[in-house]
Structure 1
Amino acid sequence: MCFDTTSSNTGQIAGACVLLEQKLEKELLSLACRHHIMELIIGAVFQVCMGLGAKSSPEVPLFKRFQEYWGFIDTAKYEPGIAADDVASLVEDIKQGTIDYANKHLEQSQPRDDYKEFLELVIVFLGAAPARGVRFMSPGAMHHARWMSKVIYCLKIWMFKAQFKLTPAEKRGLRDVCVFTVRVYLTAWISAPQASGAPYSDLLLLKSLLEYSSIHPAISKSTSRKFSNHMWYLSQELVSLAFFDSRVSSATKRLMVSAMKNEEDQDQDHSKRITVALDSFKDKNLEDFVTARSMKLLRMMELPDGFLAVDPDLWDDRDDYKQAAETVNSLKVVNDYAERGVALIQEYSGLITRDETQLQFLLQVVEDHRRMYPDSRKHTLSGMP
């Protein structure tokens, strides 16, 4: 089950996930939405950089001002983020690598237009130009529930700060959000949907958040604390996903297999998300999170495990490993589609009826119609009464 991380879902007593398992009378894999977790991280950054009033209303006042002023902006007169010396010095070491990473993913299909806009804005911010040229879309929705709104607005406002009046505090806050976005957040967000990469990505992300103290101690402290509460994919069960991550070395996989052979400590915490000690996390590796219980992932998903008996260097040539990898990589670890579905039905229901009973009847009618006429081809529609 893939879910967002609100307490209504994850509560240990009355959370929807617990109730669902009770209803089904079986334990399920808990795949917390990694985009929701990433949104919590950027929310923590925004809170630190833009002040306590940043979340006091559904709309951000600074973003509202910029949206209203957009008609006066000359989009041809933008300034790349690195034009500012205090930004250039903070991103110079990752500049070219980040541009290459963003261009690589722009060549792939993105599930949403704002993901594409995010990638393009980062490239422009770093002083380059996307393949289709430099284009700026009009500022869109800005409410806290909309993914990408914070980073897109901050990048855009910073590049037009010469045309838009900002206070010194707002400039400092925007600069800090933008630097964090290009140094840390871009890679974390774009790689989030990769199921097999989740454990290793989370390990690297928390380490990078801790190391960010050399750039901005307050951001490092806030984000690392926030993220440490959502270590779902380093749990004893889900850390086994890393067996199918090509970035993880064979040496590490050997240590993981060896750790699985150790007898299980009965006093160990078997919760679906682990608690980590931040002061010692920098020294942690994937094998430190593996136990005998880590076999549970393979058993619950009924995956072949014969490859564990041979050296990891040989795994890629084995059919059982390929079969298991294909299944693992088909797992959904973000619920973007569910988010869009919820938004769509909320908008749709208000247009036709506000009566819940009538809405339920309406949905049944729509479902029945789709079953009768699954497409709009002539031979299908010719059977319409």
Structure 2
Amino acid sequence: MLPSPTGPCQTSSRSLVFGLGPSITSEDGIITGAKLPTGRQILRCMLAKKPGANGALSQFEAAKIVLEQVWPFYKKANIPMVSDKRVCHKIVELVNCNNKLRKISQAKRSSEKTAKQLEKMEFRLDVTFPLWPPDVEKLIYNPEDLAFLASMKTDRVATFGVLDKKLQLKVKRREERQAAAAARQSRCEKELEEMTAMSSLESESDEESEEDTKTVYPPSKGEPFHKQKKTGTNIFIPHDILSRPSVVSLATRLKMSPMQQAAFTRGLVAESGGKCTHLSASYATADRARRQVLETISEEQHKQWTPPPLCTLHWDSKLTPMLRNVRQLEERLTVVVGDAERLKLLGVPAYKKQTNEACGVIIARLTCKLLQDWCCADQVVNMAFDTTASNTGHLTAACIAIQLSLGRPLLWSGCRHHIGEVLLNQVFTDLKVESSRSPEVSLFTRLREKWNLLPQESSSQWSRYIPGNTEQPLLGNLRAELVRCAKEVTDHKRGDYHEFVQLCLVFLDADCEEHTAVTFQRPGALHKARWMAKLLYTLKLALMEQHIALLPQGSITTRQQVPKIRAFAIFITHIYAKWWLTCEKAVDAAWNDLTLYHHLQAYKAVDEDIAASAIKALERHCWYLTGEMLPLALFSSKVPNDDKRALARAILEHKPADLPMHIPEQRFGTGFGKPKFPTLLPTTSLADLANKDCWFGMHQLHINPEFMSLNVKEWATNAAFKKSEVNVRAINVVNDCAERGVKLTSDFVAVARKEQHLQNVLQAVEHDRSQQPNLRHGKRKTIPQ
């Protein structure tokens, strides 16, 4: 038996406890002294409770009892502690470490290894048992308390007296403030009750007087409610109204400065007959509350958000003003994660482009850091991005760098809106409608300048599209499909989308309610990067062709431009519009792209040059006709059952021997490279595009292939099909959410002055918008206090 760690033992060896000294007595159950307890005191007190014995307390229950004795020492020393649960875990861990020593056999207790373990345990027991948080120095403001804590961490020389006078004064003042606040709250509630009773008596007397003087008739049918008399409302405004999360979040969303928020609150209270002296409504209070509450809201969002099981990663970057100098610009990266139903903005970090590091590597590092901070890196199975060279290059692009950082390949989803923009720009450029190389289209600039000379209301003199006698059946069928699609798609996310649909129906002279009363809107942004401008203003030029011809030659269009504008408008309305209206659904992407290719092949008989330009652009962006994305078409309602059956059969025929398939084959370089696009022919079907990579896409989305061997009509009732259909929703095929994040950052970057403050503002504004998307509506969800 080794001697006691406290020195030579004077008692019998039978009364010693290995590694702890004298045996445990009932006196060890009480911790005494004028210092913070050591590990030995806590361990002996814990063992005195006899945890784990038959019919005795469990270790965690005994630790709670020990905590009740330790807590007064920390309170008296004015030193904060970690949570009660954490304290109990640390005490239980100390007991377990001691039990391991006691389990060492008698034969091994004299070895050198055991001596080192015992020496390490003795040191741990002799020093102060640390129950304070890691950043305890930042939480203590009293120098004497800091000095006492430093002594407890080192030599344990300091002691605390019977009474801390300064601490006692602070506690007394705090209790007085709490009592005053409670009295003020009680007084306000009493005044509110008196005002409510008085107002009810007045309303009853008013009603009685009205009944005596006149006869009350029921309101007439259809009488508007806003004309009814409003009596007002009695409310209680708390003194800390500027610190309430809902108020702070709304004020931040409305871009109200702390001074404006405080001034508006004081004016509202004063106009309502209240006393502003009862409120904390100064600029300093509003500014301090703004920063603290926004940080709290951001932390709550970080804790409460749960990532979907399978989700898509979005990102986009843009130059924004710097926080410290608005005249200088810096790059900011917007990172969004989610599925088809839920999207979450993770952050908008700033970065600088460097010569020794590729831009894609920087984007990947920042993106993966945010994914790890939000604990959602394992749930990402797909990437949605703009099809730029910095994202889709073969060497150091962002898509490849992100996959390398995550250590696994992901699905590639080029933004459908960006693909449509590339296709439209290709046709517009090859038509040579605009020869100028300026940032703006001069044709559209002249239209804006001469706008007041043209009719802007509904008119029968518009130059609508009139089919000729020799028109091919293709255009008639395409026209009917667009009209049918426009009637189905009625929920447009943006006003210019709705305007585009209206102009298409007016140009085609469709018998639809969408164009019964159309007013042309004045041209706005004309930059060449604004791809919607090419759609809207080209259709307006085509519709106003007769009126423009009455103006002097060259005022808006030239003779060479008129036929090109009309040809471009026919292509937009017959080919492009339907594809663009249905491009946001992931399951329909493959069928829509293949149908668009077939329509373009047939459109060569109408305009060979435009069809060739569009086909050339489409063949460079066959993202959804690759084997990886092809299984999505199995869940589309647009794909005929025969094509689904053929596609399912082709996928099963290409089933690889080793499943699951973790690495795709049809990619450039390694499995992290860009997918190889298939070669399309006029007779190509979805089944012809199937290959082994279909199984990689099914593995990524957890698609169960059991339903593929059944009849297509039985799929809707099959459990495997239903579960797989839910997983397919993880795929987003448009990157609009990242662009909205960029816009959100641009709008609120001037509100903050520090980086963390800006991130808190963005999280609070995003959360407030989710609570009430439209401020014009009266209903609003409240943010938890």
Tell me if both proteins adopt one fold, taking TM over 0.5 as the criterion.
yes
Q: Say yes or no: does 1:269 pair with 2:666.
A: yes
Partner of 1:130: 513
Moved more, 123-132 or 109-118: 123-132
- Letter paired with 1:295: W
List per-residue Cα deviations over 1:264-312 (Å, max 9, x = no partner). Answer: 599963354333445xx11111011112331222211223332123222
Quick one: distance in 2 between partners of 1:229 and 1:188?
A: 17
- Residue in structure 2 matched with residue 74 of structure 1 by the alignment: 455
Q: Give the superposition deviation at 1:224.
A: 0.6
| Number of residue-to-residue matches in the alignment | 373
CA distance in 1, matches of 2:695, 2:708: 10
Measured in 1, the distance between the counterparts of 2:782 and 2:478 equals 55
Q: Which residue of 2 aligns with 1:296?
A: 696
Moved more, 245-254 or 5-14: 245-254
Deviation at 1:43, TM superposition (A): 0.6
CA contact under 8 A between 1:81 and 1:158: conserved in structure 2?
yes
SS in 2 for 1:43: helix
Matched, 1:243 2:638: no
Aligned runs of 1:233-382 on 2, under 5 Å? 233-260=624-651, 261-262=653-654, 269-271=666-668, 272-277=674-679, 281-349=681-749, 358=753, 360-367=755-762
Is the Cα contact below 8 Å between 2:413 and 2:733 reproduced in 1?
Answer: yes
Of 490, 493, 498 in structure 2, the residue corresponding to residue 111 of structure 1 is 493
List aligned pairs for 1:173-188, cutoff 5 A. Answer: 173-188=564-579
Is the radius of gyration larger for structure 1 or structure 2? 2
Equivalent residue, structure 2, for 1:232: 623
SS in structure 2 at match of 1:134: coil
Moved more, 65-74 or 360-369: 360-369
Q: Distance in 2 between matches of 1:314 and 1:49?
A: 49
Which is further off, 301-310 or 218-227? 301-310
Instruction: Show the counterpart of 1:145.
Output: 529
Task: Judging by fraction of residues, say which structure has more helix.
Answer: 1
Query: What code does the residue aligned with 1:275 have?
Result: F
Aligned to 2:183: none
What residue is the counterpart of 2:293 in the other structure? none
CA contact (8 A) 1:49 1:176 kept: no
Give a deviation string over 1:175-207, Cα, whole Å, max 9, x none: 011000011101110111010011111111112
- Equivalents in 2 of 1:326, 1:362: separation in Å? 37
Q: Which secondary structure state, in structure 1, belongs to the residue aligned with residue 604 of structure 2?
A: helix
Secondary structure, counterpart of 2:486 in structure 1: helix
Q: What is the aligned partner in structure 2 of residue 159 from structure 1?
A: 543
Partners of 1:17 and 1:267 in 2: CA distance: 15
Partners of 1:273 and 1:333 lie apart in 2 by 16
User: Normalising to structure 1: TM-score of the pair?
Assistant: 0.86
Q: Does 1:64 align with 2:461?
A: no
Q: Is the 8 A contact 2:649 2:708 kept in 1?
A: no
Counterpart CA distance in 2 for 1:295 and 1:370 is 41
TM alignment of 1:24-35, pairs within 5 A = 24-35=406-417
Is 2:744–2:762's contact at 8 Å kept on the other side of the alignment?
no
Q: Partner of 1:2: helix, strand, or coil? A: strand
Q: For 2:430 and 2:460, how far apart are their aligned partners in 1?
A: 26
* Alignment TM-score, normalising by the size of structure 2: 0.44
Q: CA deviation at 1:45?
A: 1.3
Is the contact made by 1:87 and 1:179 (CA closer than 8 Å) also made in structure 2?
no
Counting strand residues as a fraction of each chain, which structure ranks higher? 2
Mark the CA change 1:364 to 1:337 in structure 2 (over 3 Å): closer, same or farther: closer
Q: 1:297 to 1:369 in 2, by over 3 A?
A: closer
Distance 1:320 1:85, change over 3 A: closer
Q: Which amino acid aligns with 1:68?
A: E
**Between 109-118 and 123-132, the greater mean CA deviation after superposition:** 123-132
Q: C-alpha root-mean-square deviation of aligned residues, in Å? A: 3.1
- 1:139/1:153 contact within 8 Å kept: yes
Q: Map 1:184-199 to 2 at 5 A.
A: 184-199=575-590
Percent sequence identity over aligned pairs: 28
Q: Give distance in 2, aligned partners of 1:182 and 1:221.
A: 17
Q: 2:432 aligns with which of 50, 66, 75?
A: 50
CA distance in structure 2 between the aligned counterparts of 1:341 and 1:184, rounded to whole angstroms = 31
Secondary structure at the aligned position of 1:331 is classed as coil
AA aligned to 1:113 is G
Cα distance between partner residues in 1 of 2:784 and 2:604? 66
Q: State the Cα distance separating 1:112 from its structure 2 match.
A: 1.2
Gaps of 5+ in 1: none
2-structure distance, mates of 1:267, 1:372? 38
User: Is 70-79 or 266-275 further displaced after alignment?
Assistant: 266-275
Counterpart AA for 1:142: L
Higher RCO, 1 vs 2 (CA within 8 Å, ≥6 residues apart): 1
Find the residue that maps to 2:464 and give its secondary structure: helix
